[in-house]
Structure 1
Amino acid sequence: MQQFAIGQRWLSDTETELGLGVVIDVDERSVSILFPKSDETRVYAKTNAPLSRIIFNTKDELHDQEGLIWNVESAEERFGVIRYHAVRTLENGEVERKMLNETRLGAHIQLSKPLDRILASQVDSKAWYDLRIEALQMQANMQSNPLRGLVGARVGLIPHQLYIAHEVGKRFAPRVLLADEVGLGKTIEAGLIIHQQLKTARAERILILVPDSLQYQWMIEMRRRFNLNFSIFDLTRTAAIREHDPELNPFHTEQCIIASVDLMVDHEDLREQALEAGFDLLVVDEAHHLMWNEEEGGNDRYDLVDEFAEQTAGVLLLTATPEQLGVESHFARLRLLDPQRFSSLDRFLDEEEKYKHTAKIAEVLMSDIPLTEDHLQIVEKLLGHRIQDQEDQRYQAIQELLDRHGTGRILFRNTREAIQGFPGRDCQPAPLPAPSTWSKNGKLREQMWPEEAQIDGAWMQHDPRVEWLMEILRKDLKQKKVLLIARSGPVVEALENALRLHAGIRTAMFHESMSLLERDQAAAYFAEDGGAQILLCSEIGSEGRNFQFASDLILFDLPANPDVLEQRIGRLDRIGQENRIQIHVPYLLGTAQERMFRWYNEALNIFNHISPTAQTLQENFIVELKDCLLENKGQAFEDVLTRVTVQRQALEQEMQEGRDRLLEYNSCRPVVAQNIVQALDDYDDNSTLPMFVKRFMSSTNIDFDEQSNGTVIIKPTDQMQVQGLTLEEDGMTATFYRDQAQIREDAQYLTLEHPFIESMMEMIRTQSFGSTNVALLKSNAIKPGAVLVEVWFKVDVIAPKALSLPASLPTQLIRVLLSENGQDLSQKIAPEILRPHLKHLDGNSCRQIVKARRDTVEERYEQALGLAKEKLPMLKEQAKENYGKQWQYEIDRLTYLKAFNPSIRKDEIERLQRLQAEGLSLLDHLSVTPEAIQILVTVKA
């Protein structure tokens, strides 16, 4: 029976939330304990009180009643009450000592060490214990996984996107130009890089600068695909922050920010505050708007980005037209990335001319053409050694040429021709007679989009496009999914109302007045089999969402900007589209609508193909175009169409001849890219996360409802046994499957990198969840009643997360299994061998076993700790060898290549050398942290 004395401190095994209690009364049969933290008193029978005595050992931390933290130097017992000799260090460095009776200890106590918890009879269920061990193993595997930062994105396994993300995302302070053609996913590539940089802590503060019209598209894309919460900073938000605290720099309030380029250009005070706040990574979309020449310098936007790029370590520039606006403009963007490397336009032109010869021989190497003696001599001159005409040597020569190629490390450009896999698109014009009431004079807006001025919907009574729409949906497109895009929300609402009520067509809407949840639900209804036949979108339907499962697009009206038109078509014409896209364009004969259609179709050829020259040509001819749209100019308009067509064809021919196929190959090295795709595919197929999450939900009383369509609904309940999870009150719909996540954008894509799963793992890692267990082991090999002690330790190294030191460790977890007499059984009996033979005990039995075998448990724990520490020297040496080799390989490679490729920066190599030295130094200080302990009592099988 436990010995009680007034003043002793005890903890309730069944109500640990009461805090640390103090004995206030003892008689022959009972003991009364006051719990000051909760101001409650409990009376227990002395013979079977569910209580654990709290005694602190030397070096333990304890809190006094004032909340001060002390370290125990020694302890002594007087009349059953412990007196602690305690010490603490003051802020001025002086040491204070004090004698503390246990009666003076604070009531708040957090027993996080597994040994402390189990000796205090705080025993978790076997399910929780197993979940903790599995979570620790999953986290350790992810930390050392080369795919880290890539597995959590809601993206398809598209080789060129993953190759660029892997190549750039693993760099420290990457400075690159992403220049893929429209529809190949530059935003996804940038998002993957951002995600990888954040997950590996290579960057923490990120600023995305975009045109006004793209702010919400970027915010939605970052949230939807990568679970990254970026905040849009505009005049309203910054003014509200400054109003609340005039001294506060608004850009210090968030880590990840999206802002308009124009906001920064027009408001010098905000620009200066953003510069003062500082960022690790700068991302600039639509970088072709940054203009510069040697005589006049840069425009406002160029100078703005130049200022940010100068003081930001990492820079990503995005443009679909790297050389479209001229080689000088192309050089200017490269100059933003590396002003030392690209300091002279003339020298740049000379180098580009030299690399053209490199590209030509590389094309031969990549082809099936037999190598002649001339070819072999050229290769020998370029590489410094001779090769044989053999497949492996040709491949190796290509890799060396790629590494040395001019802008190959900082410019990535994939083309549709190189990537392939696009079914193509066809224009289906629908010329309609214009009603007599149609305006053919006046402002362009009145001629092109008169419906926008009639908010009451009166325009629908005489607009022939409405009847045409109902007819085509009833007949030609009856069995198909159709996306319709119009300029404004009111037009979409009026059309949806007519189709639903008057034509009986299943519809869904998507416009700016709807909440994100409502948009998600509409998109999901459209995606479902048997769901909406048509999704009607306002202009935002061309931003941030993709509907590759549909192949029919109706352009109810035409936008004024060819880039916006391409964005509309790009919702369907993307990688993953399996059918030729049919673009249906209704327009009214003899009106500005017909002339706009002909401009896009004949002059710019934008309906049938991606037109990389469209925006430039429209800007060059904008005055003549407006005149022709406002009024039918007859032959003058025909002449404009002819001149623009000729100029477009010449520009496209020039761009085709100037294609740098070596650069394109370097932007997606097929073997490497395919290896990444295969690795991610294997990771998806072998994931144990679905079963882990299901077991976690079941054991913690969180509602987990599996649906027939491959999704699950997760909801909190009143009986939840854990706190701190990133789970909203309404719960969430989720899926574990990449393909399903691509279709169901309303469902969260759950991976180890999703915020909800990360919060689950963090809760397990930082709290005591599942850190103790007592179980029966059914075995005929060990005598009944024997005790085995299993302890898990985590190998820790305190270091900046960006160094990824845990990844270099041969193992991050050490398991020690000891018999009652101290025999080490760790290698003989694996956890998976034990698991089927274990049986959980009820709480009362657990407490009795712990109290009866307390001394044995403590002895075996200390032995296990000693054995774990003995492994540290070996782990340290292996980790240092792994870490050193990993960094040295990259340092040697870049140092060697720098002699041939000036785009490799000196500071890049020096940074790697500093990080290598820092990491090797920190690996000298490995330690072990106890994570879980399990007591096994043997019984006959």
Structure 2
Amino acid sequence: MKNFKPGQRWICNADLQLGLGVVQTVEDRVVSIAFMASGETRTYARQSAPLTRVIFGIGDTVTNMEGVAMQILTVQEENDLLIYSGKDKAGTVFTLPENQLADHLQFSRPTDRLFNLHLDPDKWFRLRYQTWLQGNQLSNSPLFGLLGGRTSLIRHQLYIAYEIGRRFAPRVLLADEVGLGKTIEAGMIMHQQHLTGRAKRILIVVPEALVHQWLLEMLRRFNLRFSLFDKERFATLEADHTYSNPFHSEQLVLCGLDFLCHNRKHIQAALEGDWDLVTVDEAHHLLWTEAESSPAYQVIDQLATCTPGLLLLTATPEQLGKTSHFARLRLLDPDRYSDFHRFVAEEQQFEPVANVVERLIDGQTLNDDHKHTILSTENTTQTRSLIATLENPESGAETDSQTRHALASILLDRHGTGRVLFRNTRAKINGFPERKLSIVPLPLPDYYDDCLTSFETNLLSEPQLLLYPELLYQASADNNAPEWIEIDPRIDWLNKTVRQLRPEKILVITASAQTACDIAFALKMLTGIHTPVFHEQMTLLERDRAAAFFADKDTGAQILICSEIGSEGRNFQFAHHLVLFDLPFNPDLLEQRIGRLDRIGQTDTINIHVPCLQNSAQMILLNWYHEGLDALQKNCPAGQTVYQQFKQELISAMHQRALESITFADLIKRTRQANQVLGEALERGRDRLLEYNSFRPHIAEQLYTTAISQDEDNSIQQYMESAFDCLGIHIESHRADSHRIEPSEHMTATFPGLPDDGLIITYNRNTALANEDMQFLTWEHPIVIHAMERILNTETGNATVSSFSHRDAQPGTLYVECLFVLDITAEVSVADNHNLPSIMVRTIIDEHGCSEHPTLDHDSINRNLTTISPHVASQVIELKKDAIKDMVADSEKLAQIQIPFITRQSRNRLQKTLTLEIERLKALQKINHSIREAEIRFFERQLKTITRALDSAQTRLDAIRVIVAI
């Protein structure tokens, strides 16, 4: 057991960036170490503490807490504490007890390991070098945190996530139309905020029916492992007494709205949850008027008040109505949106501005009225100059375009709700496929007719059951009656259709899990081929395997049969044929079904097949959807409102099944008229200024181009194959664009996220989208992040000896290659740390003191390496120890020249970026009251913290490679 005494100085081997620790207290089994440089105190088990005593020797240079450097002349020990004696640069001799050593002293650990022959294989040194390089690239990427999700790269989603994700504690409303990906946008924002440390604690609140869908979506797409809280889990944690607040047991929490709102304990615990960000789905169900508000609204209102960040996902403002829309904005900023009537008046003032923005973006000319609108909004030297440029006939096309975007941006920045509300529509966003409808009338079996006839006068309490005659038949048929799959013509039609469309993929959706299983059984009896099913009674693993089997292009299934609930949230857009085996009794559910294939980014026409039983409730509903709403071939924004208006008449028509009746014809006519009127009202109510603010194409295009470039870079695969090799993780080819990884017998420590039976991984986005059972490895994946942290937070790879043969290297010449890094030990938050540069300087010097070796770059040396035996390596160190010490000292001098310059560049770049952001926000705040003071304060504090951290940073030798030319 190590001998600890208060006042001694120790370092943590597993986390060198903590700095120099001092022993605080020593007990029988544990020791407490304070790391003043990073503001942390940690407790370790004495028996297994990953700590090393720091003892400096004669000739070493150390620094005291006042920053005075001293070269050590003698070392004495009194009561187990070291006392150093030496002289400073002026020659003054003084003593320095070890407890007065500077907390951020550098340590020559690589040299210690080198001269004690604790050497590592060269591949570890190369991996360490690549890790530092990649860390620097990631810290400089404006898209870090936005590209790691299992999502398609879509311009408007990238723009929204980039615009919101870089803010401090964003408080925004996401109100895109259905199919444009609000959940994905929210996931991207939360992923980036969590990854960069701006939101450590996140709470998601959703309707109970969507809890599991959100849980899956966050895990499968973004590797965000949320913990699902319900009343049972809450009660268990409460009884355990480990946490005073059960919500404090997890950082990422997901719960249902009913769970949260119907129990006072749950509400109070959530309010005391110390969340950084709260996300609320289906926020339009939170009811509010000027006179009163619902209990759910009141709970979310209280949460919004005590939480810095808030994301609300909701229906479009046009669908909500002005009052309901204002209620959502009021949650985001109650001070800014306190008066509904003032809000309406302000919004109306922006209509002329919206017209000008539209003309600017569409490339239309501006008349005097339009120019007057611009100048009355923003009469500055800049706007007058831009208008003059626009009027100049000699301006080129590129200048004209840039001027128009600049003017539009100035006007958009003044739009009050444009900063807190993001709403895109299908009319604005390109990329949706066409829909081709095929209706197949089929004869109604007599057995079904008898069942449906019995309900023409006896109304069902659950009228949607009329749409599923196979269920009614099974509930009423006796034991001698034939199975429904033997009498239903849809089964035979589906079997023939599958054969005709082979090998094209077909997704079949039906209402119930049992019907899905029965269809699969019938097809197997008819064809002998196994047909996978996908429903809510299957485990997540079973569903993943079924989806992967369907997605496999080569040996996978041609058809997948899904239940209504089981397919929620899943993406099958690689398929282009959708069979609606029955119809849901809700236009939103119908759109959700079609949305499994009809999603933005879909490249092919969606073929929708509807086998429909004649003289049935199905045919009534089909005609109402198709002839009344036109909801099968087009998205129908007004569908749900029209449905609520005519729901009871529709139920009556489904019971009567009189397709040709005058009454039903009149219902279709009135439905069509109501849909047209509401659709035109929605179109008139479109806030085009908001649309432009929600998606600025020129910025989005730049982000998309950068994202594609990073996506196509295969450096991560090369890096991870090296990392897996070093870490003892076995990798083998699986199939096209995928690999299998699993622990090998050489794996030195457990690896989080890697089970004993291994994983299937891919680096290809399209492959990952089609195979949800595969892990999509990006620079943001937990496995990759953990690998990089393990490589840099351990000593492995920081001391190695190699040999190489190169035309520019004289055989027998000794070289030392050093990696120096900027060691930032000042106390900074995780959010600030992400913005700090990962600075690394490489030096190479020969034993003659020459450092000018332009052809001996790192990669050139690696390509010409040869193996060297441990015996020879030890001989080199023993024989050349003094020369190597001198070469390391000279290398440090070289680094000391380079690093301050690089640090100054990084500091200037960060200061410029943050200063510009602060100035931009302050300028916007003068004309747009949606800019919160907290945002400005955050960036001001970050500027001070980062400047202080860089100013106090120290140069540290991270790794040494001794190389012998042969």
Would you say 1:323 and 2:323 are equivalent positions?
no
- Once the 2 structures are TM-superposed, how far is the Cα of residue 528 of structure 1 from its aligned partner? 2.3
CA distance in 2, matches of 1:684, 1:447: 49
Residue 511 of structure 1 corresponds to 535
Q: 1:838 pairs with 865, 884, 892, which one?
A: 865
Which deviates more, 162-171 or 213-222?
213-222
CA distance in 1, matches of 2:443, 2:45: 86
Q: Classify the secondary structure of the residue corresponding to 1:933.
A: strand
Q: Classify the secondary structure of the residue corresponding to 1:408.
A: helix
Residue 697 of structure 1 corresponds to 724
Residue 68 of structure 2 corresponds to none
Q: 2:548 pairs with 500, 519, 524, which one?
A: 524
What is the CA deviation profile of residues 102-127 of structure 1, one whole-angstrom value per residue up to 9, with x for unaligned ones? xxxxxxxxx99322222221211122
**Amino acid in structure 2 at the alignment position of 1:274:** A
**Amino acid in structure 2 at the alignment position of 1:934:** R
**Amino acid in structure 1 at the alignment position of 2:626:** N
Residue 564 to residue 240, structure 1, CA distance change in 2 (3 Å): farther
Residue 473 of structure 1 corresponds to 498
Contact 1:485 1:541 in 2 (8 A): no
- Identical residues among aligned pairs (%): 39
Would you say 1:546 and 2:556 are equivalent positions?
no
Which deviates more, 170-179 or 227-236?
227-236
Residue 248 to residue 187, structure 1, CA distance change in 2 (3 Å): same
Residue 563 of structure 1 corresponds to 588
- Once the 2 structures are TM-superposed, how far is the Cα of residue 148 of structure 1 from its aligned partner? 0.7
CA distance in 1, matches of 2:727, 2:49: 32
**Amino acid in structure 2 at the alignment position of 1:308:** L
**Amino acid in structure 2 at the alignment position of 1:885:** K
Residue 149 to residue 826, structure 1, CA distance change in 2 (3 Å): farther
Which deviates more, 623-632 or 598-607?
623-632
**Amino acid in structure 1 at the alignment position of 2:439:** P
- Once the 2 structures are TM-superposed, how far is the Cα of residue 206 of structure 1 from its aligned partner? 0.9
Contact 2:621 2:654 in 1 (8 A): yes
Q: How does 1:148-187 map to 2 (within 5 A)?
A: 148-187=144-183
- Once the 2 structures are TM-superposed, how far is the Cα of residue 342 of structure 1 from its aligned partner? 0.9
Residue 309 of structure 1 corresponds to 304
- Once the 2 structures are TM-superposed, how far is the Cα of residue 190 of structure 1 from its aligned partner? 0.9
CA distance in 2, matches of 1:65, 1:901: 60
Q: 1:145 pairs with 141, 147, 159, which one?
A: 141
What is the CA deviation profile of residues 674-707 of structure 1, one whole-angstrom value per residue up to 9, with x for unaligned ones? 1111111111223312122223334555322124
Q: 2:778 pairs with 724, 733, 751, which one?
A: 751
Q: Classify the secondary structure of the residue corresponding to 2:560.
A: strand
Q: Classify the secondary structure of the residue corresponding to 2:419.
A: coil
Contact 1:123 1:774 in 2 (8 A): yes
Residue 40 of structure 1 corresponds to none
Residue 371 of structure 2 corresponds to 376
Contact 1:144 1:806 in 2 (8 A): no
CA distance in 1, matches of 2:145, 2:891: 35
Q: Classify the secondary structure of the residue corresponding to 1:496.
A: helix
**Amino acid in structure 2 at the alignment position of 1:498:** A
Residue 85 of structure 2 corresponds to none
Which deviates more, 873-882 or 788-797?
873-882
- Once the 2 structures are TM-superposed, how far is the Cα of residue 170 of structure 1 from its aligned partner? 0.7
CA distance in 1, matches of 2:720, 2:641: 52
- Once the 2 structures are TM-superposed, how far is the Cα of residue 624 of structure 1 from its aligned partner? 4.0
Q: How does 1:796-811 map to 2 (within 5 A)?
A: 796-797=823-824, 798-804=826-832, 807=835, 809=837
- Once the 2 structures are TM-superposed, how far is the Cα of residue 201 of structure 1 from its aligned partner? 0.9
Would you say 1:574 and 2:593 are equivalent positions?
no
CA distance in 1, matches of 2:301, 2:933: 20
Contact 1:72 1:84 in 2 (8 A): no
Residue 468 of structure 2 corresponds to 449
- Once the 2 structures are TM-superposed, how far is the Cα of residue 916 of structure 1 from its aligned partner? 2.1
Q: Classify the secondary structure of the residue corresponding to 1:899.
A: helix
Residue 295 to residue 817, structure 1, CA distance change in 2 (3 Å): same
**Amino acid in structure 1 at the alignment position of 2:510:** A
**Amino acid in structure 1 at the alignment position of 2:349:** K
**Amino acid in structure 1 at the alignment position of 2:675:** R
Contact 1:72 1:86 in 2 (8 A): no
Aligned length: 855
Contact 1:789 1:860 in 2 (8 A): yes
Q: 1:929 pairs with 930, 949, 956, which one?
A: 956
Residue 340 of structure 1 corresponds to 335
What is the CA deviation profile of residues 481-512 of structure 1, one whole-angstrom value per residue up to 9, with x for unaligned ones? 11011122222111111102223455221122
- Once the 2 structures are TM-superposed, how far is the Cα of residue 926 of structure 1 from its aligned partner? 0.8
Residue 588 of structure 1 corresponds to 613
What is the CA deviation profile of residues 208-249 of structure 1, one whole-angstrom value per residue up to 9, with x for unaligned ones? 111112112111111121111112212232233334448642
**Amino acid in structure 1 at the alignment position of 2:181:** G
CA distance in 2, matches of 1:622, 1:796: 67
Contact 2:157 2:185 in 1 (8 A): yes
Contact 2:808 2:855 in 1 (8 A): no
The two structures, once aligned, show a CA RMSD in angstroms of 3.1
Would you say 1:613 and 2:638 are equivalent positions?
yes
Would you say 1:261 and 2:257 are equivalent positions?
yes
- Once the 2 structures are TM-superposed, how far is the Cα of residue 445 of structure 1 from its aligned partner? 5.2
Contact 1:553 1:569 in 2 (8 A): yes
- Once the 2 structures are TM-superposed, how far is the Cα of residue 865 of structure 1 from its aligned partner? 3.9
CA distance in 1, matches of 2:248, 2:199: 15
CA distance in 2, matches of 1:601, 1:493: 28
Residue 774 of structure 1 corresponds to 801
Residue 64 of structure 2 corresponds to none
Residue 352 of structure 1 corresponds to 347
TM-score by length of 1: 0.85
Residue 874 of structure 2 corresponds to 847
Would you say 1:115 and 2:111 are equivalent positions?
yes
- Once the 2 structures are TM-superposed, how far is the Cα of residue 805 of structure 1 from its aligned partner? 5.1
**Amino acid in structure 1 at the alignment position of 2:359:** V
CA distance in 2, matches of 1:713, 1:253: 34
**Amino acid in structure 2 at the alignment position of 1:424:** E
- Once the 2 structures are TM-superposed, how far is the Cα of residue 869 of structure 1 from its aligned partner? 4.4
**Amino acid in structure 1 at the alignment position of 2:256:** S
CA distance in 2, matches of 1:735, 1:794: 32
CA distance in 2, matches of 1:183, 1:355: 28
Which deviates more, 438-447 or 530-539?
438-447
Residue 443 of structure 2 corresponds to 433
Residue 483 of structure 2 corresponds to 458
CA distance in 1, matches of 2:781, 2:44: 36
Q: How does 1:147-296 map to 2 (within 5 A)?
A: 147-245=143-241, 248-296=244-292
**Where in structure 1 are there 5+ consecutive unaligned residues?**
1-15, 17-60, 77-81, 90-95, 100-110
Q: 1:401 pairs with 391, 400, 411, which one?
A: 411
CA distance in 2, matches of 1:635, 1:276: 61
**Amino acid in structure 2 at the alignment position of 1:716:** P
**Amino acid in structure 2 at the alignment position of 1:669:** R
Which deviates more, 861-870 or 173-182?
861-870
Q: Classify the secondary structure of the residue corresponding to 2:167.
A: coil
TM-score by length of 2: 0.83
CA distance in 2, matches of 1:574, 1:551: 11
**Amino acid in structure 1 at the alignment position of 2:128:** R
CA distance in 2, matches of 1:873, 1:920: 13
- Once the 2 structures are TM-superposed, how far is the Cα of residue 259 of structure 1 from its aligned partner? 0.9
CA distance in 2, matches of 1:63, 1:822: 46
